[in-house]
Structure 1
Amino acid sequence: MVSKVKFLLVFLLSIQGFLAQQKDDLLLIVDGDSIRTSEFLRVYNKNLDLVKDESQKNIDSYLKLFKEYQLKLKEAKRLKLDEDPKYQREFLNYKKQLTKNYLSENKVTDALIKEAYDRNSYDVNASHVLVRLDETVKDTAQAYNKISALRARVLKEGFDKLRSDVHDGTTIFVEDLGYFSAFKMVYDFETAAYNTPVGEISQPFRTQFGYHVVKVNDKRPSRGTVTAAHIMIALDQKDSLLIPEERINEIYKKLNQGENFEALAKQFSDDKSSAKNGGKLSPFKSGQLSSTIFEDEAFGLANDGEVSKPFKTKYGWHIVKRISLEPIKSFDDLKPSLEAKVKRDSRSKLINEAMVDELKGRYNITYNKDAKSYFEKLINDDFFSRSWRLPESFNKDEVLFTINEKDYLYDQFGSHLMAAQRAYANRKLAVTEIVEKEYNAFFEAVILKYREANLELENEEFANILKEYRDGLLLFDLMEKEIWNKASKDTLGLESFYEQNKLKYKWNRRLDFTMASSADENIAKKALKLFKRGKSQGEIEASLNTKEKQNIIFTSGIYDADDNRLPANLELIEGVSGVHRHNQAFHVVKINNILLPGTKTLKEAKGMVINDYQSQIESNWIQSLYERFTIEVNEEVLQRIKAQINN
Structure 2
Amino acid sequence: MKKLKLFLFLLPLSLIAQNNDPVLLTLSGKEVKLSEFEAIYNKNNSKEAKSPQALMEYMDLFINFKLKVLEAEKEGIDTTAAFKNELMGYRKQLAQPYLSDKDANEGLMKEAYERMKWDIKASHILIRVDADAAPKDTLEAYNKISKIRKEITAGKTFEKAAKEYTEDPSGKENGGDLGYFTVFYMVYPFESAAYNTKVGGVSQPVRTKFGYHLINVTDKRPAAGTVKVAHIMIKAPADFSNEEKERAKQAINDIYTKLKAGEKFEDLAAKFSDDKASANKGGELAPFGTGRMVPEFENAAFALANNGDYSAPVQTDFGWHIIKRIEKFGIKPYDEVKNEIKNKVTRDSRAEVSKQQFVNKLKKQYTLKEYPKNKLDIEKAIDNTFFEGKWTMPEIASTMAKPLFDLEKKTYTQRDLLNFMGARQTRRPVISKTEVVNQQYNEFLEAKILELEDENLEKKYPEFRMLLQEYKDGIMLFEITDQKVWSKAVKDSTGLENFYKTINQNYLYDERANAVVYTCANQTIADNARKLILKNEKKGLSSEQVLKVINKKNAENIKAENGLFAKGENPFLNHDEWKKGLTKNIPSNNKIVFVHIKEIVPPSPKPLKEVRGLVTSEYQNYLEKEWIQNIRSKYKVTVNAEVLQKIK
TM-score of the pair, normalised by structure 1: 0.50
Higher relative contact order structure (alpha carbons within 8 Å, sequence separation ≥ 6): 2
TM-score of the pair, normalised by structure 2: 0.50
The higher radius of gyration belongs to 2
